[in-house]
C-alpha cells in the first residue's frame, strides 16, 4: 500500500521508531494519527513535523486501556475523515534479569503493552480498515520474537506472541483488502529502556557498547515504510536481524548460544 494520501495510526509515536515513522510518513504525503501515553513526547514529535503539522493529529492514549482504545477510531476519523492503516509500534522491555528473579507484575506489564496493547488497537481499527479500498496493519515484533535473548525471556515471549498473532491475522485476511506485515527490528538506537523504566538496570560497559552496531531509528523507519509499500509479509530491520533469522532457522541451538555468549554479562546476578 502506497502511503501517500493515506491516514495511518502510529502507536509509540512520542519517541524512537514511532517518532521517525510519523515524520517519514508525513514527509511522504500521508496523514498521521500519532498515539502515545506521554503527552509531552507527542508535543515534541508534533513540533518536529514542521510544515506537515496540518496532516498530523496527536492522541494521548494508554493502549492497555481497552475502553480508551475503543474510542480512538472515532477520534482519528473525526480528525482525518478515514483511516487506512495502523502501525502497532509501542513496546517496552523489562530488566535484564532471569525469569526466576522476575516478578509476575513485570511479566504482566510487558505482555499488557506489547501483546494486549497491539491486540486492543488491532481489534478497534480492523472493522474500519475492512471498509477501505486498501488498508494495511503493521505489528512490530522483534529479533527477540524468533530468537531467545537471556534476561529478556518475558519480553521475547510477548514479541513471539505478536509474531504468531500477526501471521495468523495475515492468513485470515488473505481474501480481503487488508494487508498485514510483521516487523522484526534488530539493534536499533531508541530510548526503549528509558520508556520502559529500566534504564538503571541496563547499562552496558563502554567496551560492550562499542561492539554493538546500532541502526538509527530514522533508517529503521525507512525500511519499515518501504516494506509497507511493498506489502512485505516479514520486514527484517538490520543486518543482524537478517543474519540471526537465517541462523535461527538452520541452526537454532547454535544461534541461541551465540546470543547467550554476547548477552550473559548483562544478566543481573
DSSP string across 34-53: EEES-HHHHHHHHHHTGGGG
Compute the distance between CA of residue 80 and CA of residue 214 in angstroms, rounded to an integer.
35
∠ Cα 16 193 204 (to 5°): 115
Whether 235 contacts 227, CB under 8 Å: yes
Compute φ and ψ for 57, nearest 5 degrees: -120, 150
Active-site residue list: 155
Q: In whole angstroms, give the CA distance from residue 17 to residue 6.
A: 19
**85 - beta bridge partners?**
8, 136
CA distance 242 to 249: 11
258-262 long-range contacts (CB < 8 A, ≥24 apart) are: 259/147, 259/148, 259/149, 259/150, 260/148, 260/150
Q: Rounded to whole angstroms, how far apart are CA atoms 154 and 106?
A: 9
Q: Decide: 213 and 186 in contact? Cβ < 8 Å.
A: no
SS3 content of the chain, % helix, strand, coil (to 5): 55, 15, 30
Measured CA to CA in angstroms, residue 26 lies from 34, 45, 48, 265 at distances of 11, 12, 11, 41
Amino acid at each position: 500500500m502506497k502511503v501517500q494520501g493515506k491516514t495511518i495510526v502510529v502507536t509509540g509515536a512520542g519517541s524512537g521508531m514511532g517518532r521517525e515513522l510519523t515524520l517519514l510518513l508525513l514527509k511522504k504525503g500521508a496523514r498521521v494519527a500519532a498515539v502515545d501515553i506521554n503527552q509531552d513526547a507527542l508535543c515534541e514529535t508534533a513540533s518536529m513535523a514542521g510544515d506537515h503539522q496540518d496532516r498530523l493529529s496527536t492522541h494521548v492514549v494508554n493502549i492497555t486501556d481497552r475502553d480508551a482504545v475503543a474510542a480512538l477510531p472515532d477520534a482519528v476519523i473525526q480528525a482525518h475523515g478515514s483511516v487506512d492503516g495502523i502501525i502497532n509500534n509501542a513496546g517496552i522491555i523489562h530488566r535484564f534479569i532471569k525469569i526466576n528473579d522476575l516478578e509476575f507484575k513485570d511479566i504482566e506489564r510487558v505482555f499488557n503493552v506489547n501483546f494486549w496493547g497491539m491486540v486492543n488497537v488491532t481489534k478497534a481499527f480492523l472493522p474500519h480498515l475492512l471498509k477501505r479500498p486498501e488498508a494495511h496493519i503493521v505489528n512490530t515484533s522483534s529479533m527477540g520474537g524468533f530468537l531467545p535473548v537471556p534476561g529478556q525471556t518475558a519480553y521475547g515471549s510477548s514479541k513471539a506472541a505478536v509474531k504468531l498473532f500477526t501471521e495468523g491475522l495475515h492468513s485470515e485476511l488473505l481474501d480481503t483488502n487488508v494487508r498485514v506485515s510483521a516487523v522484526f527490528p534488530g539493534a536499533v538506537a531508541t530510548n526503549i529502556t528509558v520508556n520502559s523504566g529500566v534504564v538503571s538496570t541496563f547499562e552496558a560497559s563502554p567496551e560492550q557498547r562499542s561492539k554493538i552496531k546500532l541502526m538509527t531509528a530514522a533508517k529503521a523507519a525507512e525500511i519499515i515504510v518501504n516494506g509497507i509499500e511493498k506489502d512485505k509479509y516479514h520486514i527484517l530491520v538490520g543486518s543482524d536481524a537478517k543474519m540471526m533469522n537465517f541462523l535461527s532457522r538452520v541452526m537454532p541451538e547454535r544461534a541461541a548460544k551465540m546470543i547467550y555468549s554476547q548477552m550473559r554479562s548483562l544478566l543481573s546476578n
